[in-house]
Amino acid sequence: MIDISISSGRCLIGSDLVDTSLTVVDGVIDQLDATAAVAALSLDASGLTVLPGIVDIHGDAFERQMMPRAGVDFPIDIALVDSDRQAVSNGITTVFHATTWSWEPGLRSAGNARQLLEAIEGLRPRLAADTRFHLRHETYNLDDEDEIRQLLAARRIDLFAFNDHMDSTVASLDKPHKRQRMVDRTGLSGDEFDRLVARIVSRGDAVPSSIARLAETARQAGIRMLSHDDESPEMRRAFRAQGVSIAEFPVNEETAREAAAGGDAIVFGAPNVVRGGSHTGWTKASDMIAKGLCSVLASDYYYPAPLLAAYRLAADGILPLARAWSLISAGPAQAAGLSDRGALAPGHRADIILVDDSLPLRPRIVAVIAAGRLVCLTESDRLGTRTAPRAAAAE
């Protein structure tokens, strides 16, 4: 691994943007203000902002690479490599692939989740971003509980979320467009899908005890847990009592306030900020951020969104850029228990991005360093190299 120096940039150090330089040695940040440092590879960051890499704890855009059209599958390894390129080119240096393990067949089936986990584990050395497995467990998926508990106990799962989309699934049965989209995703006929939903719904009484067993296993393994779409303060308190310390997309302000009062991490979607509101009509993320009720923004379904959201918050005067950037870097790193990233500080993992933000609402990635490796560069004239001096000729 070669050493890297970054010079003449405006760097986010702590809570301030300062003109300084830094060096990277053996994959970690070595020195700040290293004006005299000489490295094998140098990057000229003049006119650019130098920021910690983005940590994305919930992204499922990779599903589009696996199934770009309903019923059209591509190999998972190809999908992961393509998703890795997309994530890194948008400044994401740590990515948790949010994988739904449902009672459904098809895209969100047990088989697909198993294959994706195995592919992530096998491909990690080849991927530029630090790629991790975020399992989104549909709580009505009782058939696979024992297997999932085994994966938790073996610490093969990096984040574990409790999802319950059953009410919305049942409600969508009377909406032809939504129903057909679900049917197409499973590969079943319409009648087969209806019978499956009826069977799954009938087992609702067994769901709470299943949640309790899974939460206990995750706690014992030290795996951070999330609850998805909490609908009420009571629901948030119930999950917190089981060690679920991350509230993911609370659907209203009172639930978000309960999460904040309990010291929980609170996740909203970066696309919500970029688009000016939720596509489902639920909580407006920028309002929650302005009220101090959000600590993490996630890409959700769109990898460019975290970068764009941070700059949108700054441009709209909701947060200064340094605080907005914490929502996509230091905040998610802390929520996920990753103490070695999220800041430009000596000893931290060298996940660094260089951004041209001369157009405030259209920030552009110029370079990305992940774990000390230059993995993306869009302006080659900013790159310099140093070669070893030639040995003197023998006399």
pLDDT digits (tens, 9 = 90+) for 223-258: 999 999 999 999 999 999 999 999 999 999 999 999
Q: Residue 179: enclosing H or E segment and its boundaries?
A: helix 176-186
On the question of pLDDT at 308 being above 50, the answer is yes
Looking at residue 392, its pLDDT comes to 42
Burial class (CB in 10 A: 0-12, 13-18, 19+), 370: buried
Looking at residue 388, its pLDDT comes to 43
Cβ atoms of 362 and 117 within 8 Å: the answer is no
- Span of 143-157, 193-207, 304-318, 326-340 with lowest mean pLDDT: 193-207
Helix axes 110-123, 76-89, angle to 10 degrees: 60
Looking at residue 119, its pLDDT comes to 95
Q: Which residues pair with 193 in a beta bridge?
A: none
Query: What is the rounded average pLDDT for all residues in the chain?
Result: 93
**What percentage of residues in the chain have a pLDDT greater than 90?**
80
Lookup: tokens for 236: 């948030």
Looking at residue 35, its pLDDT comes to 65
- Span of 45-59, 65-79, 196-210 with lowest mean pLDDT: 65-79
Q: What is the dihedral of CA 366, 133, 210, 230, to 10 degrees?
A: 0
Looking at residue 305, its pLDDT comes to 98
Task: Give every CB contact of residue 346 below 8 A, 6+ residues apart in sequence.
Answer: 28, 29, 30, 31, 32
Distance CA 125, CA 131 (A): 9
> pTM for the whole thing?
0.92
Mean local confidence (pLDDT), 135-142: 96
- Assigned fold of 4-52+345-385: Urease, subunit C; domain 1 (2.30.40)
Q: How confident is the model at residue 265 (pLDDT cuts 50, 70, 90)?
A: very high
Looking at residue 72, its pLDDT comes to 85
Amino acid at 172: S
Lookup: tokens for 30: 């070595």
- Assigned fold of 54-163+208-335: TIM Barrel (3.20.20)
On the question of pLDDT at 126 being above 80, the answer is yes
| R_g of the chain computed on alpha carbons | 22
Distance CA 59, CA 87 (A): 10
Maximum Cα interatomic distance, the chain, rounded to a whole number of Å: 91
Q: How confident is the model at residue 390 (pLDDT cuts 50, 70, 90)?
A: very low
Q: How confident is the model at residue 174 (pLDDT cuts 50, 70, 90)?
A: confident
Looking at residue 123, its pLDDT comes to 97
Residue 250 phi, psi (nearest 5)? -55, 140
At residue 139's C-alpha, the angle toward residues 335 and 142, to 5°, is 135
Domain boundaries, the chain: 4-52+345-385, 54-163+208-335
83 or 172: whose pLDDT is higher? 83
